[in-house]
Amino acid sequence: MATEKQREAARRNIKKAQAAAKSKRTIANLPKSTRTALGKQGAKLAKQKRGS
């Protein structure tokens, strides 16, 4: 079980990673096939979430 301090650190790390990805626009610079695959994967998970 993670401590509260570890959870806070994880949240901070996630926010930093999101900010870095936004500034670098990492996904926009990926090959088209990879972007398509990521989009399909995201859509699949969203559909599963809605279904249950």
Residues 6+ apart with CB under 8 A from 21: 27
Tokens, residue 19: 């900010």
Which pTM was predicted? 0.46
What pLDDT score does 29 carry?
A: 86
- d(CA 42, CA 2) in angstroms, rounded, equals 27
Tens-digit pLDDT profile for residues 5-38: 999 999 999 999 999 888 888 888 889 999 999 9
Task: Inform me whether the pLDDT recorded for 2 exceeds 80.
Answer: yes
* 42, two tokens: 């995201």
Question: Looking at residue 52, what is its pLDDT?
Answer: 63
